[in-house]
A = this chain, B = another copy of it.
Amino acid sequence: MTSDIFDFCSSMTDEQDGRARELIERAAAKWPLRILHVLSDADAPLRFSRLMERVEGISQKVLTQTLRTLERDGLVIRTLYPQVPPRVEYELTPLGRDLLMQVVSLWRWIVEHLDDFDACKAVKLTATADA
């Protein structure tokens, strides 16, 4: 069994498990990873409008929402320069950068195994009857 791999699951409180699960769900949603990636690719903090351009297909509303969530989760920093017109810059936190690296290694593993995901299409769909 691979149960040994999951030993740490038992050593985890329900609260820890729940919070980690929430973080994964939120981070793996449609937009967050793209945003984190764009921020990580930039060599400087990005303004809201630059993000809109580079995260292709996102709406202004959803970008705002997603950035707020990422900020609450401690993954991005929002810096408001109180000018007229206003200027706001977004950048990754160290934690956001670290999390992205973890996710990227998972990503890489998946890409390296894409063929396997395909190969499994020809599996048994029925079996001969026996109790």
Q: A30-B25, A41-B6 are in contact. Are A111 and B79 (CB under 8 A)?
A: no
Query: Is A62 engaged at the interface, CB distance under 8 Å to the other chain?
Result: no
Number of interface residues of A (CB under 8 A): 66
Q: CA separation between A21 and B62, bound complex, in Å?
A: 19
**A75-131 with Cβ < 8 A to chain B:** 75, 77-83, 93, 95, 97-99, 101-104, 106-111, 113-114, 116-121, 123-127, 129-130
Query: Could you tell me which A residues sit within 8 Å of B by CB distance?
Result: 1-3, 5-6, 8-9, 12, 16-17, 19-21, 23-25, 27-30, 33, 37, 40-41, 43, 72-75, 77-83, 93, 95, 97-99, 101-104, 106-111, 113-114, 116-121, 123-127, 129-130
